Structure 1
């Protein structure tokens, strides 16, 4: 044996392994998608419960493929764009209830966060014919229950197309841009109540309920759109800021037989109110509608008879702070219904009879139901996700409608979420943790037993073994009388005898959560990059964040930003007392609400924080929309001190450290007005700072090279201000 040759080979392999395990994460690799996880395409469970469909793209064609749950093998291709001459490809699809027709979406363009316009076609699986719904781009096309008709929005009016006769009827006529909207939500409903389609078919398909928005008196907001032309354009839209006039909403029911729409008028006198949800019950002539006062502290559920147009108040909830609006309303065959509520201090599931009388509180305990998956009438079980395994974790459970025989269906601690088959025979579980990238498994719904593993992302886990990656450490920190959840990243070569700058991240918005036992978000790779440059990165979820009970979440009522800020400042002070943290170099950053709080942290906490980055921040709640802001603050007219004392604009004189302010000029959500007013206040206070505007970019500030540019800018700023221009800055890599 040649010892010298063997030794040389050993040294070569060892050096190669050592080198491989010391790769640096770079911003270029992060934003080019180098650490992207592989997921499952959105699937639709077929009505038989044994199969599911997936939209796939092959050879420049889009196709709907059918798979078997038990084998996970492809059964057939149901439809391919290659067989439809009029369609090059489609990007989404929806089945009619009986799955005999498919609605295909093409040429879709975004409007705001959730809304879009597109060309839509209906494909009949029996005849093989494909028909264009409208020559114009339309919104929210929706099959009637028997699949014979489609209702949709166009130019602020509602239309119904009969697919048998090919006849289209316009059922509203007063729609007008920036004035009247029928059946499609206005900007603030879309953003804050998270829905766009404000119309619903009844079970028989002979009535259509819809919400009408009169936004004629809502103030207009205008944004300059710079584009590439010689002269900029203006985008003008209705945006109600806190304390200003909302759309006047009304509920209507259109009868297809009489071809008339009647307005619903209830016995209760609602003056300034919202209708955040409508949903037909299983009875064809009974519509449920949720009405909410402007303060969002009272929520009424009405059952409305579509023939007599009279309503019965079946459920009325009140809260000293606010009530969260959800989609968790399910009607059972006996006309009873399932509902979720925080009324006992935690979000739980309740069962009511058809008249609104409580039958059973199904779940209870000092933990939260975080997702409701549905009810299986055969097994009489409810399926849900909760924090029963700790507020930073999520597990999937089943429980009897009577609140008995609760069963945990997932076994791994971390974040579990489920997608059930139509008949609740199976579910696909997605599991991840801070240490484990997403794993997809097929499970039996009756026991939770894993039938087979679908996808593991092991290739990404293996890839990361070659990089400098620190373990995310979870713990709690005692702050202002509360045990707050925290995570921390330390440099891989962490030495307890040395001191490191501390860079804190937070979002802090009501009901949010950033400290969660789940796989990396894209920012986590940036934090790893910073950690290996010699920073300690930490995140603390303070008061006002979610999943620890209503009292913890709602303590910030009328003082949004006050207690959240106190917790970040106190947490930073406590962390600064640790021997390995340099208390003279503590920074903080955040986006949106997080940008708002990081600004205030630098100003009001100027004895703790030496630098801050604020991206797309609200700088005064007077500039933000009615529904979100007033939910937590009431109106500026009622609560001026709550608005002004917690506005960073009013505390710019306290700035001592380094401040970077960033905004997109095309942000329709948090308007660049917030940053402009902050800039003017800083200038007049003679405070030096840095700022950057990204032309025509929305609240997400992305597109092309934008995100890479932004994160390079932030990294350079961190190194210059928090890291004392440390030698291994991003720019030198």
Structure 2
């Protein structure tokens, strides 16, 4: 590990900023982070099929094509597409390459193809309410959902062809299931040839209808969502397989429990089988299943069990197009590693034996698997490859956070990355990692503004575990003064707030807050992401307990610094961070003077089953854990000022959480503040976000005197 990651003293990157004159306004910080202050990037990069050419978008309206060993050329403006096809696209929306000359675009319900040589194309209009449009691999057909049913149409000529036609709105096809847990991001899975279409179907008949108020109607109306709370009746999932030729569908049901989960769907290269992971509702048992395309179970390939949870998040990958042998990701030995199996489920070899976290498989082809992982420093995202003999190589030697695309024959890699002292670099590498072409080296967009370098360092927990921290000081920091503190917290599973990236994972409003005379501090506690099983699973059945203790280790560290005013410590977080804000305010009321909890979980019995039961088991199985971790049972301890915020249409952490806590405070005779954001969901986005952050930070400043 390089020493500058442990003690990030003022690097040459920040030399030009120390004497900066411009103030960063809160409005600029909130709305400008991904606009005027976002470092120069390559947007919309893609490799062009069957070539060694690539494309990207210039200001989203001009298509640029380049060759790895040659020059770049502006080849098409969006106005040319509009003129040729009679459409009104403002930018190259959803651009993909059908072949080396033809692009496919999708904007709203319009789908077009355009051939750069003939300057001709096609256009179709899907139904206005169509969602989840998904192309087959040849871009010949597009599947989409409409209300609760699934349809498809040829891209060349619109025909509204129904895959399902359920009148019962409780039967939902083609959508994400399990509330998008366990790596589920879609509900439509085309076979490699496009001849068949697999899709999720869920029966939500037994799931509670949860009411959300729509104030835009006159009079107001209730709009219900399906929301299975922990321990309550849940959805029942199937996988449908539809044949475009026969127009018939067969369904695959779970083998070991009606409310078990189906996830990680993949087609074998020969299209004779579909593979999926069936996960017990308890999430402590997983069966990797191989089904024939007629819906019969061919074989249970293997099982995994855990006393905490198993959480398969990635489908099987096939490193050889001519074989059904597959690579599976499992954290069975404490960290996600790659295991190579024969198609009958026999373990051929363990390809990797890393003691760091694998993040994603980028590509598996021609006997090699390319994957991202943290490497030894858990704040990084690096690219590796491994062959089927287990020979592993690091391809990105530069530490940082890398985003990657690999071309069709895996001969070249597009790599765009940032780091603590690197705003953004985009380049092309050979498959061995050697740089062959630099596309962008971004300048620091904050040059000339009063911002400070974040200090990133690990501290030791009370029991000797490294906990990474980020500290942002005022631009005019004076070590002889005493500063109040704002602790920004999340702390929940899968999240990692501190990364080796531009701004170190921080939001620009933190720089504004620091310049109001604050130390802004963040700590990634145990239970948060990218640290492995021992670090992440210790929270099981007791959400918030270890996390709180780790956060207090951060407070202890701060208290040992001469420039910290320990009588003026505030805390703010959202969602799980809102829960942690409440936990810290109520379990350590003598420490925190003020807190702002946004969209907080207040009692895990109100939270949805898929997430809640993984970490807490059911309320019946873990009565003590639910009672111990409920903010309702800790509310009597509150001493400081607390502002509770919630979006009134939140479908993730439903508003019952916050209202139940407010009711508890009323019963206790304790005054708190509450602010709703009408019709906002789980996050307050758009123009109202400036209002939100003004509300949050003003409250902290005014009450932390």
TM-score, with length taken from structure 1: 0.87
Residues of 2 paired with 1:581 and 1:163: CA distance? 62
Residues of 1 paired with 2:250 and 2:455: CA distance? 58
Residues of 2 paired with 1:201 and 1:18: CA distance? 51
User: What displacement does 1:373 show?
Assistant: 1.4
Residues of 2 paired with 1:469 and 1:138: CA distance? 46
Q: Which runs of 5+ in 1 are unaligned?
A: 1-16, 108-117, 725-733
How many residue pairs match? The answer is: 682
* RMSD over equivalenced CA pairs, Å: 2.7
Seen in structure 2, the aligned counterparts of structure 1 residues 72 and 127 have a Cα distance that, compared at 3 Å, is closer
User: What displacement does 1:282 show?
Assistant: 0.4
Seen in structure 2, the aligned counterparts of structure 1 residues 656 and 383 have a Cα distance that, compared at 3 Å, is same
- In structure 2, the residue matched to 1:430 is 416
What is the CA deviation profile of residues 81-101 of structure 1, one whole-angstrom value per residue up to 9, with x for unaligned ones?
323444101653365765676
- In structure 2, the residue matched to 1:233 is 221
User: What displacement does 1:494 show?
Assistant: 3.4
- In structure 1, the residue matched to 2:82 is 82
Q: Larger Rg: 1 or 2?
A: 1
Specify which of 444, 447, 450 is matched with residue 430 of structure 2: 444
SS of 2:660 mapped into structure 1: helix
Specify which of 443, 447, 456 is matched with residue 458 of structure 1: 443
- In structure 2, the residue matched to 1:714 is 696
Seen in structure 2, the aligned counterparts of structure 1 residues 473 and 249 have a Cα distance that, compared at 3 Å, is closer
Residue correspondence of structure 1 range 332-351 to structure 2 within 5 A = 332=320, 333-351=322-340
User: What displacement does 1:354 show?
Assistant: 1.2
Specify which of 281, 284, 287 is matched with residue 294 of structure 1: 281
Residues of 2 paired with 1:472 and 1:71: CA distance? 41
- The answer to whether 1:524 aligns with 2:507 is yes
**Higher mean Cα deviation, 73-82 or 148-157?**
73-82
Q: Which runs of 5+ in 2 are unaligned?
A: 1-15
- In structure 2, the residue matched to 1:371 is 360
Give the conservation status (yes or no) of the 8 Å contact 2:526–2:547: yes
- The answer to whether 1:141 aligns with 2:122 is no
Specify which of 312, 316, 325 is matched with residue 329 of structure 1: 316
What is the CA deviation profile of residues 212-240 of structure 1, one whole-angstrom value per residue up to 9, with x for unaligned ones?
2111221111211223x542233212111
Residues of 2 paired with 1:471 and 1:73: CA distance? 37
Specify which of 574, 598, 615 is matched with residue 598 of structure 2: 615
- In structure 2, the residue matched to 1:208 is 197
- In structure 2, the residue matched to 1:541 is 524
User: What displacement does 1:657 show?
Assistant: 0.9
Residues of 2 paired with 1:372 and 1:184: CA distance? 23
Post-superposition, which runs of at least 4 consecutive aligned residues in structure 1 deviate over 6 A? 17-20, 124-127
Give the conservation status (yes or no) of the 8 Å contact 2:98–2:104: no
SS of 1:486 mapped into structure 2: strand
Specify which of 342, 354, 359 is matched with residue 343 of structure 2: 354
Residues of 2 paired with 1:410 and 1:719: CA distance? 43
Residues of 2 paired with 1:131 and 1:340: CA distance? 40
What is the CA deviation profile of residues 578-631 of structure 1, one whole-angstrom value per residue up to 9, with x for unaligned ones?
332222222211111001001110011112222211111111112211111111
Residue correspondence of structure 1 range 454-493 to structure 2 within 5 A = 454-460=439-445, 463-493=446-476
Specify which of 152, 160, 176 is matched with residue 160 of structure 1: 152
Give the conservation status (yes or no) of the 8 Å contact 1:442–1:450: yes
Give the conservation status (yes or no) of the 8 Å contact 1:23–1:468: no
SS of 1:558 mapped into structure 2: coil
- In structure 1, the residue matched to 2:28 is 29
Seen in structure 2, the aligned counterparts of structure 1 residues 586 and 150 have a Cα distance that, compared at 3 Å, is closer
- In structure 2, the residue matched to 1:283 is 270
Give the conservation status (yes or no) of the 8 Å contact 2:94–2:107: no
Seen in structure 2, the aligned counterparts of structure 1 residues 715 and 264 have a Cα distance that, compared at 3 Å, is closer
**Higher mean Cα deviation, 469-478 or 690-699?**
469-478
Give the conservation status (yes or no) of the 8 Å contact 1:51–1:66: yes
- In structure 2, the residue matched to 1:130 is 122
- In structure 1, the residue matched to 2:171 is 180
Residues of 2 paired with 1:213 and 1:21: CA distance? 57
User: What displacement does 1:127 show?
Assistant: 9.2
What is the CA deviation profile of residues 437-483 of structure 1, one whole-angstrom value per residue up to 9, with x for unaligned ones?
1221222222x2222322222051xx434424244232323334422
Give the conservation status (yes or no) of the 8 Å contact 2:468–2:498: yes
User: What displacement does 1:56 show?
Assistant: 5.3
Residue correspondence of structure 1 range 548-563 to structure 2 within 5 A = 548-563=531-546
Residues of 1 paired with 2:46 and 2:515: CA distance? 42
Residues of 2 paired with 1:319 and 1:422: CA distance? 38
SS of 2:565 mapped into structure 1: strand
- In structure 1, the residue matched to 2:573 is 590
- The answer to whether 1:169 aligns with 2:152 is no
Give the conservation status (yes or no) of the 8 Å contact 1:105–1:119: yes
User: What displacement does 1:170 show?
Assistant: 1.8
Give the conservation status (yes or no) of the 8 Å contact 2:420–2:504: no
- In structure 2, the residue matched to 1:68 is 67
Give the conservation status (yes or no) of the 8 Å contact 1:295–1:634: yes
Seen in structure 2, the aligned counterparts of structure 1 residues 416 and 265 have a Cα distance that, compared at 3 Å, is closer
Give the conservation status (yes or no) of the 8 Å contact 1:470–1:528: no
Seen in structure 2, the aligned counterparts of structure 1 residues 255 and 359 have a Cα distance that, compared at 3 Å, is same
